[in-house]
Chain A
Amino acid sequence: MSGAAARQEGRESEPAVRPDGVTPSQTVGPFFAIGLPWPDGPFVVDEGAPGAIVIAGRVLDGAGDPVPDALVETWQAGPDGRFSHPDDPRGDAGDDPRGVAGTVPGSTGGGGSPAARFRGFGRCPTDAGGRFRVVTLRPGPLPWPGGGTEAPHLDVSVFARGLLDRVVTRIYFADERDANAADPVLNSIADPARRETLIAIPEPGAGHGDERPAAYRFDVRLQGARETVFFDL
């Protein structure tokens, strides 16, 4: 009814007008749980998918207290280092997110599998203890537009009451030492102690039999002596 009314105004026939500017960010506030969490949000892949890893940790404030009302979102390449996205100039990875599975260290071998449902995107609200947990696949390394290679990583957005804009950070993997040492973003951070805030640490315990860890810990410290590195995107 009103869709038709809007169309009668003929706005779509107008040429594109350059808007005055972008819409400002505002805080997600304390009540986002009404609208944003999804039951499948933390599962970038299904929990039992071959090669699945868990990245879990806490969001902490400047007093070291847990932030129980934060939302952690992750975005990453598949194990083959590709994105199912038109702006990945190397072309679509196709339906099998693992693409050339087996050629990337840490990927899980070929064959059709439940891992085909790989979203690349994870979303998890923190609990009363400030904890979040995302189940995903280990991303592959990426070519850097200026030459060189980015180490496997996830881009992370953290939203919370008290944050007027999201804060953006990255998760790298401690067992990718050589790749991390050559990573252009990590190397743009001069202080080694600050770089360390971007490194997820393997949890002791179960691996995948190929000696790669299956679980990592990554804490986000919004303030304080060990404040996480946040990026100007």
Chain B
Amino acid sequence: MTTEVSQRAGGSGGLRVPAYQRPAGVHPPLDTPAYRSSLLRAPKRPLVPLPHALTEVTGPLLGAERVSATDADLTTRHGGEPLGERIIVTGRVLDSDGRPVPDTLVEIWQANAAGRYAHAVDDHPAPLDPNFDGAGRCITDSEGRYRFVTIKPGAYPWRNHLNAWRPAHIHFSLFGRAFTQRLVTQMYFPGDPLFAQDPIFNSVPDPAARKRMIARFDLDLTEPEWALGYQWDIVLRGREQTVFEHAGQRDARGGR
């Protein structure tokens, strides 16, 4: 069912806005001490519930003006071919009711095949690739589909703990159609032996949710004598199925 249920206006002349689901136990807790960078950055106080009103149910509808024709192929933007395993990464952006999210901006960034980012603060002693900058963007089609051609990123060491290595991953940034749907995440590759020791991957408490960050190798997407295919759907939260009551908010205001 994809019935659109709206919030019912109290006394404001019929203003109705959709509410979005609040998935519990999916996103990593901000306070995850095993990820050392969180220690001084994760807020310590409880989050304050924010009802979904006009600012939250709208959002930037960024379209083709943010993307050029070559942005979805990370292997052809420089003088020559980047080194590494050429891959196709494709899938659909959906909401949690299975509805595609069309015409939405998808931005990615990643390390090169040697596990080195083209970024000044990356001091991993692995080679930069003059033919690879690691940035890509595209707009989903009418069925919510995106598609990138790139190079499989390498694993790389970091200093979170002794002998810490990040599993190979591609960073993804998504907008959806509402401020509530904004998502930044990472796509991982199947069978990576580094999952077990990675505090970022394991910061997601639910093992089933963790698996949703792992792409699936797909021989049907693989192009003969050219590139391996990976399939990964990204699911943004869908709309709430129940009426959202604002009475508590009115009470709070009246009590002041």
A binds B: yes
Query: Which residues of chain A (12-42) have a CB below 8 Å from chain B?
Result: 12, 16-36, 38
A147-B10, A184-B252 are contacts. A223–B41 as well, Cβ < 8 Å? yes
How far is B26's CA from A227's CA once the two chains are assembled, in angstroms?
25
For this complex, into which size category does the number of interface residues on chain A fall? Answer: 35 or more
Is residue A129 contacting chain B, with contact meaning CB distance below 8 A? no
Number of B interface residues in the complex (CB < 8 A): 107
Is residue B15 contacting chain A, with contact meaning CB distance below 8 A? yes
Query: Which residues of chain B (128-172) have a CB below 8 Å from chain A?
Result: 133-137, 143, 145, 147, 171
How far is B58's CA from A119's CA once the two chains are assembled, in angstroms?
13
Most buried by A among B7, B40, B201: B40
Interface contact A20-B208, CB-CB below 8 Å: yes
Contact of B62 among A25, A121, A161, A227 (CB under 8 A): A121
Interface contact B185-A24, CB-CB below 8 Å: yes
Interface contact A185-B50, CB-CB below 8 Å: yes
- Write out the residue numbers on chain A whose beta carbons fall within 8 Å of the beta carbon of B221: 2, 5-6
Is residue B234 contacting chain A, with contact meaning CB distance below 8 A? yes
Interface contact A164-B223, CB-CB below 8 Å: no
A16-B98, A144-B249, A184-B252 are contacts. A25–B60 as well, Cβ < 8 Å? no
Per-residue contact bits, chain B 181-213, to A (CB 8 Å; 1 contact, 0 not): 011111000000000000011011000111011
Per-residue contact bits, chain A 66-109, to B (CB 8 Å; 1 contact, 0 not): 01010001011100000111011110000000000000000000
Per-residue contact bits, chain B 240-251, to A (CB 8 Å; 1 contact, 0 not): 000011110110
> Which residues of A pack against B, CB within 8 Å?
1-3, 5-6, 9, 12, 16-36, 38, 61-63, 65, 67, 69, 73, 75-77, 83-85, 87-90, 119-121, 142-148, 150, 153-155, 157, 159-168, 182, 184-185, 187-189, 222-223, 227-233
- Write out the residue numbers on chain B whose beta carbons fall within 8 Å of the beta carbon of A3: 147
A165-B30, A166-B182, A184-B252 are contacts. A62–B41 as well, Cβ < 8 Å? yes
